Every structure is written in structure tokens, then in C-alpha cells.
């Protein structure tokens, strides 16, 4: 009867759904794994189970699934315990008019959480792609000051990240290129275009080496340049 009451309240709020009612640990676990709900609404006192145990199983098996406790229990200590354990909301049956709002808020929060998780996953992939890239990668701000170099840069030049951050790639200059060469490079990338060419550069130990480079501007959503990315390959042996 409580489940029916909750269903009616949600439908009154124009929320359409497919639901499954369970009242014991085994059926609940199976539902989490097979039914895969978008949201869980649980009473605190169940015939052969309880809401806090249901919440703990949610944490283990479906941590991103919103969990609403809908109960007649008015014990404030119980409410605090459940909220601290990860419940998204605690709704008393005598105040079910708040259920629709809480339901929608929990679903929205779930969407945001999943989006954040996907974004972090993509960032992790991109980060590893840069860190493990066989090319030398340098990222500078708009003024050309280095903010990042990948491990391959350190391996090839002998400079650690801490030694180059805040400096410009000019620390690698060998003196073989003219002022006009660098002037043309800057004019190209500041205009929003990609520059490509070869440098004769100098390592930390003084050894000269050749690298083929592509330098591209990074733009923000307004089309303004915020950073430059240089992707370089040591071509000394190829030239020899």
C-alpha cells in the first residue's frame, strides 16, 4: 500500500516511469544488477530488510544511482545517519507532496554526476595520451611561457618540468635561426594559424639537435587564443 501511494504521488506530479517493487535483500540485489533502476525509493522498515542496508548495497553495487528514503520513521538520528551514508533525500510519508521535487532533483544530480564521471574519464585518456606520447609536447600560455612539457621532452632535452615552467622555449635556442625566422613563426600562430617547420635546438648539456615541429594555437569558446601547443619530433638521425 505504501508503494502504491508513492506511485500515485509521482504520477500526480506528471512523472512517468516503469517500476519494480521488492522487499528483501535477494530481490533487491537482483534488481540492482538486472533491472538497473535510474532511482531507488526505499522505506526504512521492510518485512525482511531495512532501508539503511539497502543504502549500503546501493553504495556497493550502484553508487551513482540516487537513493530516496521515503518513510514514516521520524527519528532525526536515523535521518542524519542515512544522509551521511549517502542518501540523496529523506522524505516523511506525512509530507509526500515534496516527493516529486525531490525525485526530479535526484535524477538531475545523477545526470550531472554521470556527466562529470564521463568528463573525468575523457580527461584521463587525454592526459595519458599526452604523457605517453612519443613526440615532444610543450604547452605554453599566450605569451609563450611554458606551462607543461611531457616526459618525452624531458628525456630528449635533459630539462625537467620544474626547470622550464614559466620560461619560454627560447631556452632551447641554438642561435642557428634568424630573428626573421622566429618573427614569422609568431606572426603565424598569433593570427590563429598553425606553423610547421624545423629547428636546430640545444639540449641542456649543450648538444645540438634537429626537431620537426607543429605549433598550433588553442582557442576558447569565444575564439580567443589562450595557449599554444607544440608537437615536436627529434629528426637529428633522419637528417644525418
Neighbour tally for 187: CB within 10 Å = 11
pLDDT band at residue 73 under the 50/70/90 scheme: low
Per the rule left: phi > 0, alpha: psi between -120 and 50, beta: everything else, 86 is left
Helix (H) or strand (E) holding 118: helix 99-131
Residue 115 pLDDT? 83
Give which of 144, 129, 146, 156 is closest to 212, Cα–Cα. 156
* Alpha-carbon span 210 to 232, nearest angstrom: 10
pLDDT at 112: 84
Q: What is the pLDDT of residues 186-235, one digit of tens each?
A: 999 999 999 999 989 999 999 999 999 999 999 998 889 999 999 999 99
Give the confidence band of 74 by pLDDT, cuts at 50, 70, 90.
low
Per-residue pLDDT band for 161 (boundaries 50, 70, 90) equals: very high
Amino acid at each position: 500500500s505504501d508503494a502504491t501511494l508513492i506511485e500515485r504521488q509521482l504520477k500526480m506530479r506528471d512523472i512517468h516511469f516503469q517500476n519494480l517493487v521488492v522487499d528483501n535483500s535477494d530481490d533487491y540485489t537482483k534488481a540492482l544488477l538486472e533491472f538497473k533502476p535510474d532511482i531507488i525509493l526505499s522505506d526504512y522498515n521492510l518485512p525482511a530488510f531495512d532501508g539503511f542496508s539497502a543504502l549500503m548495497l546501493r553504495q556497493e553495487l550502484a553508487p551513482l544511482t540516487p537513493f530516496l528514503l521515503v518513510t514514516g520513521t521520524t527519528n532525526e538520528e536515523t535521518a542524519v545517519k542515512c544522509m551521511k551514508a549517502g542518501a540523496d533525500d529523506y522524505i516523511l510519508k506525512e509530507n509526500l507532496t515534496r516527493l516529486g521535487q525531490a525525485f526530479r532533483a535526484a535524477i538531475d544530480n545523477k545526470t550531472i554526476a554521470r556527466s562529470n564521471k564521463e568528463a573525468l574519464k575523457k580527461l584521463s585518456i587525454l592526459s595519458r595520451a599526452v604523457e605517453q606520447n612519443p613526440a615532444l609536447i610543450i604547452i605554453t600560455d599566450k605569451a609563450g611561457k611554458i606551462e607543461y612539457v611531457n616526459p618525452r621532452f624531458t628525456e630528449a632535452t635533459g630539462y625537467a618540468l620544474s626547470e622550464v615552467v614559466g620560461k619560454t622555449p627560447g631556452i632551447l635556442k641554438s642561435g642557428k635561426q634568424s630573428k626573421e625566422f622566429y618573427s614569422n613563426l609568431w606572426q603565424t600562430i598569433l593570427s590563429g594559424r598553425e606553423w610547421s617547420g624545423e629547428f636546430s635546438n640545444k639540449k641542456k648539456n649543450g648538444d645540438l639537435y634537429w626537431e620537426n615541429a607543429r605549433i598550433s594555437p588553442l582557442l576558447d569558446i569565444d575564439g580567443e587564443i589562450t595557449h599554444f601547443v607544440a608537437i615536436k619530433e627529434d629528426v637529428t638521425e633522419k637528417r644525418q
